[in-house]
Structure 1
């Protein structure tokens, strides 16, 4: 089955208001170009160097999302063009993104990564950690980042009830923040959850952005070992 066919299978399953981030990490330009020809414009990468190289060689109207663990010394490479950073998992990282975005004269959209899975291999804020950071209000002085919402990954399990419970908890926390710290900010409206194996459950529990890679592009050798669970 072609990339185009698999892409349309995913797109045709999405309700209005849900967008697809096609996770293109580890895949060559040719694969991205095939999806691009079918109208896909949002792509996700997890390594700064790979993202930089693809940005320089692929169409300018691609909306690049960074979905991996972002090292502070790599931020400067992607800030000039990245559309959204999904994995802000510390206040320090948010400050660093703001610093480089200020230098680049940009405001960069970010999602706070929440730890909702029953796995230590996944990263992110606990709900209480996030509440405490937002309560402090220092983040409001960061004028070159815009917190657009939350991101989370469910446990890697076949137990659909557990996955649904984890997604529901993230959705409820998203609504809590939307009604409190972000009540006056209509741009706080994105909830990134759901990947190739569980995105229908994520959509059913309120996701606005799904991150799908292998279901569209197929598996790449080594990708699941290096960056498990991101697509």
Structure 2
């Protein structure tokens, strides 16, 4: 007779061997892209696939604290069960919606990933990004984030500026999902980087966002609007 825990272990081991029989005996077909990419690339795809699968699994949970907690649990599961992660991602891509795209592209804004990114990111700037509102001729002000590694008083001496229009398809991603890139640009060039947080479709149908970005460009380049006066209080 087996004890309960021995029965569980033997059952799980049997299921694993049955599922991975070809891999254990080295009988499976070779990976078609195995010789085209490095190990680090495959490692990155393994992690990103697990992240996508866990966010898509937890996205229907309404309570944010529970959704974040379940996301952590699901991430551990999908990192171990890589085949399940591939299967989940493949199924979602077959019925992809705007909600799925936003969950995937905005995952950098989740509290724990943002915390980990801040810990691992090289410290390239002494000043945090500043939220600003840029006036537009006939519409609501445009939202943006200013990345500038100097005091605001130094803005008046700047003759160059980098305007960044982030996002995916004008439907997702705000400037804070690209902090790594924007911090590096502002820190290494010493220039002010203005990243636009334009309004997204479907709530604001395209071409609204395109017109908004063009208005900001005109305000900054042609009208030379004072960005320091546009800071949100």
TM over 0.5: no
Q: Which TM-score applies when normalising by structure 1?
A: 0.22
Which one has more relative contact order, counting CA pairs under 8 Å at least 6 apart? 1
| Max Rg structure | 2
Q: Which TM-score applies when normalising by structure 2?
A: 0.22
Question: Comparing both structures, which one devotes a greater share of its residues to strand?
Answer: 1
